[in-house]
Amino acid sequence: MKHNKVFFIFLTIMSLVSLMLFAATGYSYLQEYGPGIVNWGNNVKYGGTLKEVMPWGPQTLNFNPFVPTNLPTHAIYEPLFYVNMLNGDTTNLLGTSYKFEDNNLKLVITTRNDVKWSDGTPFTAQDVAFTFNYIKEYPAIDGYGIWSKISDVQSVVASGDTVIFTFSKPNVALFPFIASQPIVPAHIWANIKDPSTYTNPNPIGTGPFMLKSFSPDKVVLVKNPNYWMKGRPYIDQVDVSYVVSNTTAYLYMLKHEADWSFLFAPDPITTYVDKDPSVNKIWWPTYSVNGLVFNTQKYPFDNPIFRRAISIAIDKNKLEKEVYFGTGGYNPNQAGLIPTQYDWMDPSLEATNNYLNTYNPQEAQKLLASIGFVKNSAGQLVGPDGKVLPPIQLVVCAGCTDFISMGNIISSELGQLGISVNVNQQSGGTYMGSITTGTYDMVIYWGIGGGPTPYYEYYTNLNPAFSAPKLGEPVISDISRYTNPIITESLKEYSQTTDPTVQKQAIYKIERVFLNELPYVSLTNRTNFNIYNESTITGFPSDQYPYSSGGSPGAAIGLGSSDLLMTLLNVHLK
């Protein structure tokens, strides 16, 4: 597998200003925009329909850009900039430039002229200021934590064609999240009084595509004839079909009935690429980890020793070998770091990381006994209250064959400790609902991490602004519901400086708390799962052209959420 050839570059946040260098990417791009817009030359063919197939089952109509869905919302709504989560490369979209001023207490962004919303209304800097003040008014839709207690944003105002963000304390690390926020039209959303539940059936955006039709199993987008980026998009239409499983979607790809899918495929080189190497392509860059997330607001997962016992009772190398065939590499880092971030790992924590990574069911049993959990004569685990531990619900997404396989292995391994585990397959909407409302015991989840440094994983997953104090109250992204004041303060320390030494010390403090508390287990490194059929359409992100991080075409919240947008701006007829 050669997917790890992707050229990853470590960058501190402030170096984002000077990223637009040819040498940083190794391919030609349009200088006006940045590394996300490839210069394919003057002979690119226009027209055609891109056919996607996604294994997420029937969908519910919801084109709200403020909430996570599996619909192609980010083909319609654009952010100010696109920040590639693999390397930090920045591409200009609705914003044309940015700079920090006044000792980093002000961020000044210049917005693009001659842009119209798809209903013909001119786009202005006022729409940008409106969007950010709107999410302040409705915190439930602040998916990037722009107004969280640790963000230190004081105000956002428009002045001419600029938007000025004022901070009470420097927070240069917030820029990628500001950059990634989808911008909405003020003249539409000012009339929406409950944006967290609004389904937005007739989306009006600035993006390259507009909604033509929706049904639970198919979405059709058509080219925006008045799109502002000259010469883009190349394709005329996007058809997204939703099927019930990875297996069904894979058949579409094998039969060349679709051009693009995002799905896990077992042994993809043998089972897909080698079937037709000239057109069957994959790109699986490592960007995150697959996490076994504990609901830390539930017993017994509120006990860190119980959580650590679970970690060492799971053979993570077996998961990688049997489920992913080694494509993500072995021995995931239990602080959640991916291989390109290992230089951020505190060397003094190496032994702890190795301990938590090593498969040792005997040691796991000892840890459990130390907190009063022992087997009875029937081999069942009994808690300190003398009662048999009830069956644990391990939630996985239905149709995600990799997660189902991992769940079955974990169930078998924890059974050796006397723990009964039910692998509960839930369809897309139910799965996400369980995650956000905390109705699960344990869940296998892919939304852990992503970004040029570990800060972005910790900010997304351990920020109290993204959590909830009680079960049933929805979280934004801290699905383990774990927070810690040391971590919160360390996130602030990192964000307020551009000194890499100070930033690294802040990350070290977070890692120490994390490995001691272990709110989730890194099961395997997480790769993106792009599978292409290039018999008709080409120009997808790849090792040669890593113009995006290749994230899921669903409208996730967070860095990488506009990966779909960048792909649709670059693909073209072969």
What domains lie within the chain, and their CATH numbers? 3-203+528-573 (3.90.76.10), 288-527 (3.10.105.10)
Instruction: Give the pLDDT confidence of 321-366 residue by residue, as tens digits.
Output: 999 888 778 889 999 998 889 999 999 999 999 999 999 999 999 9
**Model confidence at 452: pLDDT above 60:** yes
Residue 114, amino acid: D
Closest CA to 538 of 105, 38, 140: 38
Residues written for the chain: 574
Helix residue ranges, H only, 290-357: 304-312, 316-324, 350-357
**Model confidence at 201: pLDDT above 80:** yes
Q: What is the pLDDT of residue 3?
A: 30
**Model confidence at 6: pLDDT above 70:** no
pLDDT confidence tier of residue 449, bands split at 50, 70 and 90: low
The mean pLDDT value for 11-18 works out to: 29
Q: What is the pLDDT of residue 410?
A: 98
**Model confidence at 382: pLDDT above 80:** yes
Residue 104 contacts by C-beta under 8 Å, 6 or more apart in sequence? 167, 170, 171, 172, 498
C-alpha atoms less than 13 angstroms from C-alpha of 366 in its C-beta half-sphere: 5
Residue 31 contacts by C-beta under 8 Å, 6 or more apart in sequence? 20
**Model confidence at 13: pLDDT above 70:** no
* Angle made by CA atoms 38, 43, 44, in degrees to the nearest 5: 55
Q: How are beta strands 49-54 and 260-262 bridged, if at all?
A: parallel
- The secondary structure of 271-299 as a DSSP string is HTGGGSTTTEEEE--EEEEEEEEE-TTST
| Residue 476 three-state SS | coil
Helix, strand, coil percentages in the chain from 3-state DSSP, rounded to 5: 30, 20, 50
Q: What is the pLDDT of residue 11?
A: 27
Q: Average pLDDT over the chain, rounded to whole?
A: 91
The mean pLDDT value for 412-426 works out to: 97
DSSP, res 229: S
Is-contact 171 152, C-beta < 8 A? yes
Is-contact 435 294, C-beta < 8 A? no
Q: What is the pLDDT of residue 259?
A: 98
In angstroms, the CA 521 to CA 296 distance is 13
The mean pLDDT value for 491-503 works out to: 92
| Residue 61 three-state SS | coil
Closest CA to 34 of 77, 108, 104, 98: 98
422-447 b/e (C-beta count within 10 Å ≥ 16 → b): ebbbbebbbbbebbbebbbbbbbbbb
Residue 160 contacts by C-beta under 8 Å, 6 or more apart in sequence? 125
**Model confidence at 451: pLDDT above 50:** yes
Q: What is the pLDDT of residue 429?
A: 78
**Model confidence at 18: pLDDT above 80:** no
Q: How are beta strands 162-167 and 153-159 bridged, if at all?
A: antiparallel
Closest CA to 123 of 112, 108, 133: 112
The mean pLDDT value for 510-531 works out to: 95
**Model confidence at 416: pLDDT above 70:** yes
Instruction: Give the pLDDT confidence of 98-121 residue by residue, as tens digits.
Output: 999 999 999 999 999 999 999 999
pLDDT confidence tier of residue 427, bands split at 50, 70 and 90: confident
Residue 360 contacts by C-beta under 8 Å, 6 or more apart in sequence? 312, 313
Q: What is the pLDDT of residue 194?
A: 93
Is-contact 545 38, C-beta < 8 A? yes
Is-contact 556 68, C-beta < 8 A? yes
Q: What is the pLDDT of residue 25?
A: 65
Q: Token pair 């302040």 is at which residue?
A: 136
The CA-based dihedral angle spanning residues 358, 360, 365, 370, taken in that order and rounded to the nearest 10 degrees = -40
**Model confidence at 371: pLDDT above 80:** yes
**Model confidence at 208: pLDDT above 70:** yes
pLDDT confidence tier of residue 150, bands split at 50, 70 and 90: confident
The mean pLDDT value for 230-236 works out to: 97
